[in-house]
Chain A
Amino acid sequence: MNIHSKALKGLYIPVIIFIGWVAGSYFTWWNAYIIPPPVEVAAAFVHVVNDGTLAKHLIVSIYRVFAGFGFALLLAFPLAVLLGMNKEWNPYVHTVLECLRHIPPLATIPILILWFGIGELPKLLIVIMATFFPIFFNTLHGVGSCDIKWVEVGKSFGMNRREIFRYVVLPASLPSILVGMRLGLGYSWRALVGAELIAASSGIGYMILDAEQLSRPDLVIIGILTIGIMGTLIDWGFFMLATKLVPWKEGEETDYGRS
């Protein structure tokens, strides 16, 4: 099956939904306030694009996602590598991490607001919390489960621990690491929009909340669709990057951990 027919098949359901939306609005199967007609949503979309509102909020959200993601990567990656290469340290941190992993980042919002107010920091922390664990656990798994047979090859050529890490363990665990990063990116969007819905004065989540308070369901729909489309685009970009970085898996039907 070629890529075009695959992409085409993926469009069938959205097109059917869209037709249903158009028809339902035209024949007034539902109240136009509950589901505004496509024309109205399109007009609102043109408006928020033209006056820069959408771009402003989107940029803020994207910035938060990538900043939080970057920090989480800086924290999770070295920690996972250290623990993966020194398995004797695992018992010390296992309980704490296992417990923290089950806490949804959004559950910490009240205490984060109490400690840090409603500035940028709590949102960044929410994204970091959401992104840390998928990156951490996937990297740990990748580094910790590297085939001993490859490590022995490195040893047999007189490589030291650092070289074995650089030339054997790291490339061997790259697919796992990328899975973790991709999962983390997906989680970070969810957590961030959640945080913006609760306490923010900008961002896509705030835009949706604001639209709700102004009784503008058309803007709510725009906000929701924007999140979905942005998430898909970022995920796709990351997938392309992963395919480039992991060329030996080319042609294999590997799914880099959809979130």
Chain B
Amino acid sequence: MAGVELSHLSKQFVLGQQVLEAVQDVTATIAPGSFTVIVGKSGCGKTTLLRLLGGLEEKTTGQIHWTDVENQQITPKIGFVFQEPRLMPWLTVFENTAFSVDKFLTPTAVESIVNPILQLLGLETFRAAYPTQLSGGMAQRVALGRTLCYDPDLILMDEPFGALDYFTRKKMQREMVDLFMTQKKTLIFVTHDVTEAIYLGQKILVMDAGKIIREIPVEMPYPRDSTTTTFLRVQQEILEVLGGF
């Protein structure tokens, strides 16, 4: 498990003559073993923030400090689940899931890592299938499985259910909660879906125009019911902060 402290983190993109401030002066603390959701409109900088955390973008200014449970500085193993599954078309479901596993392990050792995760995600029957033969939900499950096999201290997820239909999405959200309860990992999840954010997050960071404009702790037990007054109150708060509702 790993946590992270962000102080005055900024990221600028230079597009021709223009300078785009994708992330501006973000300061936040994410505790080890917590489930944090970053929510905001399209283009608010939430994906860029996540990519900064994942080391896929270089920060312009500011600090990122990774910490463990005892608040010691560490270099964590970070897993990233992308918006699209990004499975390798030349690998089967099993091989894709094993993609993140150390290549020097024996086949038996790889099996012992991958099999439980395929089972956890309900993918055993598809183990020999190629990505083109999978539905969107199944493919995203494989992508999640691949990240779990990496055994990261922290998982970053960038709208992983964005392209899924309503029913698959709901199912995946429930599975996500179960996974959080059993896997004991720090999760940072980016979404534009306010309901999804409240359903999943212990803490919600609301982003707009590159800044975190509100931190909302959600103290409701899992699994959450979207019709309770607390749920609706949090939803109302987020929508008000994001303006115009």
Residues of A within 8 A of B (CB): 149-150, 152-153, 155-158, 163, 167-168, 171-172, 174, 246-248
Please classify the interface of chain A as helix (H, G, I), strand (E, B), loop, or mixed, using the class held by over half of its residues. helix
- Name the residue among B54, B90, B91, B100 with the largest chain A CB count within 10 angstroms: B90
* Contacts A156-B56, A248-B132 given; does A171 touch B103 at CB 8 Å: no
Residues on B with beta carbons closer than 8 Å to the beta carbon of A155: 55-56
Q: Can you list 27 A-B contacts (CB < 8 A)?
A: A149-B82, A149-B84, A149-B86, A150-B86, A150-B88, A152-B82, A153-B80, A153-B88, A156-B55, A156-B78, A156-B79, A156-B80, A157-B79, A157-B99, A157-B100, A157-B150, A158-B77, A163-B103, A171-B90, A172-B88, A174-B90, A246-B90, A247-B90, A248-B90, A248-B91, A248-B130, A248-B131
CB nearest to A171 among chain B residues: B90
CB nearest to A154 among chain B residues: B99
Residues on B with beta carbons closer than 8 Å to the beta carbon of A152: 56, 80, 82, 86
Within 8 A of A (CB), among B45-61: 54-56
Docked pose: A248 CA to B93 CA in angstroms: 12
A-B pairs with beta carbons under 8 A, tally: 46
Minimum-distance CB pairs A-B, first 10: A156-B80, A157-B100, A171-B90, A248-B90, A248-B130, A153-B86, A248-B89, A149-B86, A157-B150, A152-B56
CB nearest to A246 among chain B residues: B90
Docked pose: A217 CA to B161 CA in angstroms: 70
Docked pose: A155 CA to B55 CA in angstroms: 9
Docked pose: A176 CA to B132 CA in angstroms: 19
Residues on A with beta carbons closer than 8 Å to the beta carbon of B80: 152-153, 156
Nearest Cβ in chain B — how far from A241, in angstroms?
16
Docked pose: A171 CA to B80 CA in angstroms: 22
Nearest Cβ in chain A — how far from B79, in angstroms?
7
Docked pose: A246 CA to B89 CA in angstroms: 10
Docked pose: A157 CA to B130 CA in angstroms: 21
Nearest Cβ in chain B — how far from A6, in angstroms?
23
Docked pose: A168 CA to B90 CA in angstroms: 10
Starting from the known contacts A155-B55, A248-B90, 5 additional A-B residue pairs (CB-CB under 8 Å) come to A149-B84, A157-B79, A163-B103, A174-B90, A247-B90
Nearest Cβ in chain A — how far from B17, in angstroms?
25
Residues on B with beta carbons closer than 8 Å to the beta carbon of A153: 80, 82, 86, 88, 99
Contact mask B67-101 → A, CB, 8 Å, 1/0? 00000000001111010101011110000000110
Residues on B with beta carbons closer than 8 Å to the beta carbon of A168: 88
CB nearest to B84 among chain A residues: A149
B100→A167 contact, CB < 8 A: no
Contact mask B119-133 → A, CB, 8 Å, 1/0? 000000000001110
Residues on A with beta carbons closer than 8 Å to the beta carbon of B91: 171, 248
A171→B82 contact, CB < 8 A: no
* Contacts A155-B56, A248-B132 given; does A171 touch B79 at CB 8 Å: no
Docked pose: A172 CA to B99 CA in angstroms: 14
CB nearest to B149 among chain A residues: A157
Docked pose: A1 CA to B150 CA in angstroms: 44
- Name the residue among A149, A150, A152, A157 with the largest chain B CB count within 10 angstroms: A157
- Name the residue among A153, A156, A174, A247 with the largest chain B CB count within 10 angstroms: A156
Docked pose: A158 CA to B153 CA in angstroms: 13
CB nearest to A170 among chain B residues: B90
Docked pose: A183 CA to B148 CA in angstroms: 42
Q: Which of A156, A163, A171, A246 contacts B88 (CB 8 A)?
A: A171
CB nearest to B80 among chain A residues: A156
Nearest Cβ in chain A — how far from B196, in angstroms?
22
